[in-house]
Amino acid sequence: MAEAMKIRAILQGDTADVRILIAHPMETGQRRDATGKLVPAHFIQSVVVTQNGKTVLDGQWSQAISRNPFLGLRVKGARNGDKIVVTWADNTGGKRTDEAVVSPG
Amino acid sequence: MQCMPTMAKLGAAVASVAFTLFAGVAYAQTGDPLAVGRQMLMEDNPGDLWLDRGKKLFHGARGPKNASLEQCDFGQGPGKLEGASIRLPRYFADTNRVQDLESRLLTCMETLQGFKRDELQRRAISPAGSDGSDIEALALYITSRSNGMKMNVALDHPKTREMYKAGEQLFFRRSGQTDFACIQCHGESNKRIRLQDLVNMTDKKQIQDVVSSWPAYRGAHFVVRTMQWRLYDCFWQMRLPELKYESDTSIALTTYLHYQGNGAVIKVPGFKR
Amino acid sequence: MQFNKQSNIHPVRRTVLKFTGAMGALATVSVAGLMRAGEALAAPWNKGGFESKALEEALKSLGAANMIESKDIVITAPDIAENGAVVPIAVTSRIPNTQSISILAEKNPFPLAASFDITSGDAYVSTRLKMGQTSNVRAVVKVDGKYFTAVKEVKVTVGGCG
Amino acid sequence: MQKTNLKWLVLTATALFGVGCASFPEPAVTQQMVEKMVSEDFTAPSPAMLMRLAQDKSQQTCSMIGAAKLTQEEAAEVVKLSRESIRYPADGKLSGDWKLGNALAHDGAGDRIQFGKLEGRKENGGMCQNCHALAPGEINVGNVGPSLTGYGAQRGNSEAIAKYTYEKIYNAWAYFPCSNMPRLGATGHLTPEQITHMVAFLIDPQSPVNKK
């Protein structure tokens, strides 16, 4: 069960500064655990961010993105109260969606 | 193609060494070449992902007694977390012991929730690259409830004063094959082990920056680490035997360091490389 | 008291430089059905690009040919990264009508790290990469079917006393 | 740490003022408490390894607290003990192979204890890089100790320099009592042979340390 993302969406002028933290192992598939066993690849491949239902960022990741990933973006023409929804999906079928509301800086 | 990079050529490696030389000089003049990265990492701290988990763990019914930690007394009364961590370590009459936050947390998990203490001690420090331990998440959450408040450890009990003085002596006690005590690496400003900045713990501002920032997300381990871990790891690095979790030695050192850092404004989670 | 013998507090310190090996097995990773978030909207995961070992191939997968060096692409990253497992990288494109930003760590075993189609009106993206060694980080920006690019070198040290 | 540190005086004064009349235990009482704690609060794979925490005479002397300074008598005693500790390689050759020394100088591992196990290494690293700048242009080097860049270029590689360098690495306190530098030979961290390689790394004109 994936943990909730931390999403901040702060309005600066007419632009929302969106900062997303995701709890995810981003395993490369070649790391060995303490017992010497390979930890299977497990990483986010897709992150989609929408503003009031409209896609503003459609991202694709490899396992070169760090564990517990961070994603920052800026949304022009945003307003207080706009709904920012973030959805990620990983290579094992895991996915999660969380949302935040644009608020004043 | 004008932009195609040269891939891993020997020439590039040689050039890179030469560049390094110049870069070193430039950094010395313009400041810290690591600063940009640190700043970028600090702004968005994955340690924040641990806060909700710590909160749930604190309020949830758990353990053999199926109880929450809401009655846990960190010195400010049962369940009162605001301002608790800034006064720790302190003496607790019920255990007749000076305890830091982590030791006190274990006391509550043992007495209120029925967990076995040795089990808790064994699981307290999580493996690097794991999801982290419950104790790490709880320690962070509880400390975060004092965010914005000033460290205010009081030497108001004879046993706390004993621990303070013991911590001081330990800080200077050299042993082992490196002949190190804490002071060998933490007694002067602007020093580094390799590229890692060393905190001068004899400097008020620098020790304050330390005591205000643990528990912290440790970038290299991908988990939240606590002060107990920090001390354990230092002894490891000094080639000394393994420091026991919540031992008096660890609490004495924490008493000494926290008292030196009194006045520091708590801001956790910190972010360490 | 004994610490859990199963646990290992420091493996990362020793293995961070071994990403060459760590990421070497990507080709064997089974990519579950190329499932993507917000499937209706999202393009399929660029399997070929992300699994390319050669920079040229990775660039080709993006459609990037005849790239033009541009000063209007700004890469913000540390000159020296303290920890190759978490290297912060931000890319800003000031080129009007920027459609996408891709980020490549040229000396990683699989150079292509991320691609972002951006329709937010502000061509900026910030994330964190694993880097196995000192390398150029390259940003590739797509604008109306043209490709612009910029690079910045990031030195990677592992640090610590290990 | 033998230098007077003004900040320490201030901190100590603040501490005393802060607690008013409340009294601290006598230093001897604290010391007893500390030794008891140290004997109980650590684990190691063997009792012998636990003994790493026990102090030798010089370590005791060099554990001055806060602003306390080494007396002349104490310093002389540490120098004397340190000189007596120095052993030389069997073949008497003090400068070995700089290439091996180079590797040793950049090796910070060996002899650490974790999860009830001793780090599995045949020999320990020299750890020089942790605290000293070495070859010109190296980035990942510490500065707790002085830069060693150009060490041999400045001093030459005479027999006398080789001997001084060997002794300095073997037991730094023979020259600078209670300095921060570990007594790498005297504590058994490095073997005499390893130290000869490090000597060569520092003084050999072919060593990267002495290249421009």
- pLDDT by residue (tens digit) across C13-59? 444 434 444 444 443 343 444 444 444 456 789 999 999 999 999 99
Integer Cα distance of C132 and C158 in angstroms: 9
Q: Does B192 touch chain C (CB under 8 A)?
A: no
Q: How many CB atoms lie within 10 A of CB B46?
A: 25
Pair of tokens at residue A44: 């986010």
Of residues B37, B196, B229, nearest to C160 (C-beta): B196
* Inter-chain residue contact D33 with B162, CB threshold 8 Å: yes
Integer Cα distance of D111 and D100 in angstroms: 19
At residue A76 the predicted structure's pLDDT band, cuts being 50, 70 and 90, is very high
> B234 an active-site residue?
yes
DSSP string, chain C: ----TT--S-HHHHHGGGHHHHTGGGGG---GGG--TTTTTSPPP-HHHHT--SHHHHHHHTT--S-EE-TTEEEE--SEES-TTSEEEEEEE-STTEEEEEEEETTSSS-EEEEEEE-SSS-EEEEEE--SSSEEEEEEEEETTEEEEEEEEEEE---S--
Q: How many CB atoms lie within 10 A of CB C83?
A: 26
* Inter-chain residue contact D43 with C1, CB threshold 8 Å: yes
Whether pLDDT at D29 is above 90: yes
- Nearest chain D alpha carbon to B253: D34
Which pLDDT value is given to residue B105? Answer: 98
Mean pLDDT of D19-35: 85
H/E run at residue B52: helix B49-59
Strand partners, D118: D113
Whether pLDDT at B199 is above 90: yes
Which pLDDT value is given to residue D42? Answer: 98
Whether pLDDT at D89 is above 60: yes
**Torsion from C-alpha of D104, D105, D106, D110, nearest 10 degrees:** 50
CA of B120, closest CA in chain D: separation in Å? 16
Integer Cα distance of D135 and D141 in angstroms: 10
Integer Cα distance of A51 and B210 in angstroms: 40
Q: How many CB atoms lie within 10 A of CB D71?
A: 12
What would the pLDDT profile of C108-147 be if each residue is shown by its tens digit? 999 999 999 999 999 999 999 999 889 999 999 999 989 9
CB pairs under 8 A between B and D: 174
Q: Does D140 touch chain B (CB under 8 A)?
A: yes
CA of D209, closest CA in chain C: separation in Å? 20
Name the pTM for this structure.
0.85
Length of chain B: 273
Integer Cα distance of B203 and B191 in angstroms: 13
Chain D residues with CB under 8 Å of B165 CB are: 24-25, 27, 30
Mean pLDDT of D80-105: 97
H/E run at residue D29: helix D27-40
Length of chain C: 162
Chain C residues with CB under 8 Å of A49 CB are: 120
* Residue with more model confidence, B68 or C43: B68
At residue C158 the predicted structure's pLDDT band, cuts being 50, 70 and 90, is low
Give the pairing type, strands B270-272 and B216-218: parallel
Rounded to the nearest 5°, which phi and psi values hold at B265? -90, 120
* Inter-chain residue contact A68 with B48, CB threshold 8 Å: no
- Nearest chain A alpha carbon to B41: A70
Chain A residues with CB under 8 Å of B52 CB are: 3-4
Which pLDDT value is given to residue D162? Answer: 98
Of residues D108, D111, D180, nearest to B177 (C-beta): D111
**Torsion from C-alpha of B267, B272, C4, C10, nearest 10 degrees:** 180
What would the pLDDT profile of B150-159 be if each residue is shown by its tens digit? 999 999 999 9
> CB of A13 within 8 A of CB of A73?
no
B46 secondary structure, DSSP code: G
- Please give the ipTM for the structure prediction: 0.83
Q: Does D118 touch chain B (CB under 8 A)?
A: no
Amino acid present at C7: S
Whether pLDDT at D19 is above 90: no
- Nearest chain C alpha carbon to D112: C162
Out of B3, B72, B108, B234, the active site residue is: B234
Residue with tokens 């497992």: C85
H/E run at residue B254: helix B248-260
Whether pLDDT at C5 is above 60: no
Integer Cα distance of B188 and D13 in angstroms: 19
Residues 240..259 of B with a Cβ closer than 8 Å to D: which?
Answer: 240-244, 247-250, 252, 259
